[in-house]
């Protein structure tokens, strides 16, 4: 047992030499020393590393990669949840069914519209807040806390809260619109209309994401050297031109990051819709892709169809992300 | 000279007014939620809506805690969130150390495999995870929640910790190596103590994730006594759609740990978000 502590130490030292110094030294050390042959030392390294990797890899294979493969398989079956062995192979039928299902088409359209509205709104408003926060030295911490509060509040709570605010009779939003601002003359029944019901869902999406967007943009703004703006100011550049030609280009990597992450988040929106629409109400026309997937899978127990929907959404997310990065990367590098 | 100064002052005042108005709009729903939780059922949807309850009462809170078992749900949420956070810290520290400091065959592919795992939409995994959890008898157990919460955090938190571990100067490890310390000792005695900020970020965001998580708990838990706060609140609303006072009393209770965490660890939050881009 006495040798065991020495062995890892030796390994660690060798690791350090290989890692911190130039890579070219590693083969030299390996060949000149009369130590164990390279094959065995590599195995030993793998052994030590496995002690560190094993718990994580077991979890990852059991609950991420395994399930992904399983789900792919299920999506090609008319899956029987009670007797899986009797499930019938149906090929791409679940996929073609989804692509021809008007409910799925509607859910995709709803999800895309939600994303197309909430993402630019969050970026524009978040950037505005970040610019103001960057100017305001006093009170920055307090403002940051206030703007960030919605971000850390659980989705279930804020979804129910926005549903409450948009209640037709006695809701705060109608009261403000009608009696304070006077822009409507009778209560709007937001929650009973398949289009208007997206008002609470969309405002919630923007309101909840604003603080995070602002903090990310603020971090980006703080990397821009103050001198650049000052030089431009001396040269007589207007505030808008400074924003347009200094801030925006230098902020571009941050904005691209935000765009990609927020779009993925928007396409995966779920809890707000589920709770505000009570699962696609009214008329089953208000689904997002994931709420539809949930309903088909766990209410109708059509696991094969649900799995194919989840793969279609993943493909959509993947394609949109890749397209965004392709289109915007060149401009980021400048 | 004076005009420039006044202009700057006007500018600064305008900045503060805009920020204050924006903050008020952002906070208003929370104020309304708080006031509703203090209203009796007859006042909840009174017309016109009042921001301040005329006759505030704590009845909703006592009923939610005693009559509706929200104390149990709170405890469930706490157990799940603390356990998931602790286990995520251990497993992702081990992984992150291997990726930051050890040299082994297959390092790059394994690391990139993990990164790909980070990009999978979590709800996509719900169906197969449900079937596998059923096989392993993990449905209707808090363990089943903990396991999945650890899983869903693992890749991202490993990635974050690896960054923090790589920032630890290698010279500090040399003394330990000369003393004959193995990689386990180095991780425990040198890397972890010097990565407290990173561990705090990981802990905060894992805890928040577990405290917030709804979709998985919603499919995995049927038994009443195993509910966590998000499903308990959603199901309570589903059964008592008009009892908003109680819904928001329960919500306020669920917000307590978050507000405490947030107010006291604010600088870790902001540092975590702005240096890593983690989405809270």
In tens, the pLDDT along A9-62 reads 333 333 434 333 333 334 433 344 444 456 778 888 888 889 999 999 999 999
Q: Which residue has the higher pLDDT, A41 or B21?
A: B21
Residue A90, pLDDT > 60, answer yes
pLDDT the model gives residue B212:
95
- For residue A2, the chain B residue with the least C-alpha distance is B180
Residue A102, pLDDT > 90, answer yes
**By C-alpha distance, which of B235, B263, B243, B252 is closest to B33?**
B252
- Average pLDDT for B149-174: 90
Question: For residue B12, what pLDDT band results from cuts at 50, 70 and 90?
Answer: confident
Q: List chain A residues with CB under 8 Å of B26.
A: 146-147, 149-150, 207, 210-211
pLDDT the model gives residue A22:
38
pLDDT tens-digit map of A156-183: 999 999 999 999 888 899 999 988 898 8
Among the partner-chain residues B104, B154, B247, the one whose CB lies closest to the CB of A60 is B154
Report yes or no: B206 and B149 within 8 Å, Cβ to Cβ.
Answer: yes
Residue A200, pLDDT > 90, answer yes
Six-digit token pair at A197? 């019901």
Residue B2, pLDDT > 70, answer no
Question: For residue A330, what pLDDT band results from cuts at 50, 70 and 90?
Answer: low
Report which DSSP code applies to B123. G
pLDDT the model gives residue B36:
93
> How far is residue A282 CA from its own chain's centroid?
28
- Average pLDDT for A79-100: 89
Q: Which residue has the higher pLDDT, B211 or A327?
A: B211
Query: Does B183 contact A48 at a Cβ distance shorter than 8 Å?
Result: yes
Interface list for B 102-131 with A (CB within 8 A): 102-107, 110, 113-114, 117, 119-131
Beta strands in chain A (DSSP E): 77-78, 88-89
ipTM of the complex: 0.91
pLDDT the model gives residue A199:
96
Residue B240, pLDDT > 90, answer no
Query: Does B244 contact A164 at a Cβ distance shorter than 8 Å?
Result: yes
Alpha helices in chain B (DSSP H): 2-37, 41-44, 59-62, 70-101, 107-118, 126-135, 142-166, 171-178, 183-186, 192-194, 196-212, 215-220, 229-239, 244-264, 266-276
- Average pLDDT for A231-240: 86
Among the partner-chain residues A53, A74, A261, the one whose CB lies closest to the CB of B95 is A53
pLDDT the model gives residue B1:
53
Question: For residue B53, what pLDDT band results from cuts at 50, 70 and 90?
Answer: confident
- For residue B50, the chain A residue with the least C-alpha distance is A172
Query: Does A154 contact B212 at a Cβ distance shorter than 8 Å?
Result: yes
Query: Does A56 contact B91 at a Cβ distance shorter than 8 Å?
Result: yes
Shortest alpha-carbon distance between residue A196 and chain B (Å): 20
Residues near A267 by beta carbon (within 8 Å), at least 6 away in sequence: A111, A112, A115, A289, A313, A316, A317, A320, B121
- Average pLDDT for A109-114: 97
pLDDT the model gives residue B115:
81
**B262 close contact with A: CB closer than 8 A:** yes
pLDDT the model gives residue A38:
60
| Highest-confidence segment of A111-120, A218-227, A276-285 | A111-120
pLDDT the model gives residue A331:
53
pLDDT the model gives residue A225:
87
Pick the range with the lowest mean pLDDT from A67-81, B230-244, B261-275: B261-275
Shortest alpha-carbon distance between residue A153 and chain B (Å): 7
Residue A88, classed as helix, strand or coil, is strand
Query: Does B274 contact A216 at a Cβ distance shorter than 8 Å?
Result: yes
- How many pairs of residues across A and B have Cβ atoms under 8 Å apart? 285
Query: Does A67 contact B132 at a Cβ distance shorter than 8 Å?
Result: yes
pLDDT the model gives residue A328:
81
pLDDT the model gives residue A209:
94
Residue B95, pLDDT > 90, answer yes
Residue B108, pLDDT > 80, answer yes
**B4 close contact with A: CB closer than 8 A:** no
Query: Does B102 contact A15 at a Cβ distance shorter than 8 Å?
Result: yes
Max intra-chain CA distance, chain A: 91
In residues, how long is chain B? 280
**B153 close contact with A: CB closer than 8 A:** no
Max intra-chain CA distance, chain B: 77
pLDDT the model gives residue A103:
94
Percent of chain A with pLDDT over 70: 87
Dist. CA A263–CA A267, nearest whole Å: 6
pLDDT tens-digit map of B212-238: 999 999 999 999 999 999 999 999 998
Query: Does A160 contact B237 at a Cβ distance shorter than 8 Å?
Result: yes
- Average pLDDT for A73-95: 89
Residue A7, pLDDT > 60, answer no
Exposure string over A256-281, b if 16+ CB within 10 A, otherwise e: bebbbbbbbbbbbbbbbbbbbbbebe
> How far is residue B271 CA from its own chain's centroid?
15
Query: Does A68 contact B27 at a Cβ distance shorter than 8 Å?
Result: no
């Amino acid at each position: 047992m006495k040798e065991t502590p020495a062995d890892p130490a030796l390994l660690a030292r060798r690791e350090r030499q290989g890692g911190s110094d130039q890579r070219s030294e590693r083969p030299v050390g390996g060949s000149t020393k009369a130590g164990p042959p390279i094959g065995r030392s590599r195995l030993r390294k793998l052994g030590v590393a496995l002690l560190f990797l094993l718990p994580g890899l077991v979890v990852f294979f059991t609950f991420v990669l395994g399930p992904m493969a399983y789900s792919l398989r299920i999506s090609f079956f008319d899956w029987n949840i009670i007797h899986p062995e009797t499930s019938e192979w149906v090929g791409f039928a679940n996929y073609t069914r989804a692509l021809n299902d008007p409910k799925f088409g509607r859910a995709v359209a709803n999800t895309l519209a939600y994303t197309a509205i909430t993402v630019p709104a969050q970026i524009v408003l978040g950037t505005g807040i970040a610019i103001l926060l960057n100017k305001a030295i006093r009170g920055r911490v307090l403002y940051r806390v206030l703007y960030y509060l919605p971000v850390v509040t659980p989705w279930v709570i804020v979804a129910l809260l926005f549903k409450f605010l948009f209640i037709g009779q006695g809701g705060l939003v109608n009261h403000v619109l009608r009696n304070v601002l006077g822009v409507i003359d009778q209560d709007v029944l937001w929650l009973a209309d398949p289009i208007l019901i997206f008002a609470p869902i969309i405002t919630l999406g923007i309101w909840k994401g604003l603080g995070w967007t602002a903090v990310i943009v603020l971090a980006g703004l703080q990397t821009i050297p103050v001198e650049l703006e000052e030089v431009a100011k001396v040269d007589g550049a207007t505030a808008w031109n400074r924003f347009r030609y200094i801030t925006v280009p230098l902020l571009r990597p941050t904005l691209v990051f935000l765009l990609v992450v927020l779009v993925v988040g928007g396409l995966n929106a779920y809890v707000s819709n589920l709770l505000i629409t009570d699962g696609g109400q009214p008329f089953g026309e208000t689904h997002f892709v994931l709420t539809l997937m949930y309903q088909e899978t766990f209410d109708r127990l059509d696991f094969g169809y649900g799995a194919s929907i989840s793969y279609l959404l993943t493909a959509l997310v993947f394609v949109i992300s890749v397209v965004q990065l392709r289109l915007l990367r060149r401009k980021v590098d400048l | 000279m004076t005009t420039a100064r006044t202009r700057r002052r006007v500018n600064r005042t305008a900045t503060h007014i805009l920020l204050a108005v924006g903050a008020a709009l952002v906070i208003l729903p929370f104020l309304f939620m708080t006031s509703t939780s203090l209203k009796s059922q007859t006042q909840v949807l009174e017309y016109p809506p009042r921001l301040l309850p005329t006759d505030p009462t704590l009845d909703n809170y006592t009923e939610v805690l005693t009559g509706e078992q929200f104390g149990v749900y709170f405890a469930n949420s706490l157990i799940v969130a603390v356990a998931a956070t602790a286990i995520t810290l251990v497993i992702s520290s081990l992984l992150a150390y291997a990726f930051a400091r050890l040299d082994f065959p297959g390092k790059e592919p394994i690391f990139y495999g993990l990164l790909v795992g980070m990009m999978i939409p979590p709800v996509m995994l719900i169906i197969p995870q449900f079937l596998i959890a059923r096989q392993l008898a993990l449905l209707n157990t808090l363990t089943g929640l903990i396991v999945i919460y650890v899983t869903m955090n693992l890749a991202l938190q490993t990635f974050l910790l690896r960054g923090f571990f790589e920032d630890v100067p290698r010279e500090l490890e040399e003394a330990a190596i000369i003393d004959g310390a193995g990689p386990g000792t180095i991780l425990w005695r040198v890397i972890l103590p010097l990565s407290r900020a990173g561990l705090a970020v990981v802990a905060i965001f894992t805890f928040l994730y577990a405290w917030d998580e709804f979709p998985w708990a919603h499919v995995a838990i049927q038994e009443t006594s195993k509910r966590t706060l998000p499903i308990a609140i959603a199901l309570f609303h589903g059964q008592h759609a008009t009892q908003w006072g109680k819904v928001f009393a329960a919500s306020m209770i669920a917000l307590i740990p978050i507000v405490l965490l947030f107010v006291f660890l604010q600088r870790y939050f902001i540092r975590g978000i702005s240096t890593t881009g983690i989405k809270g």
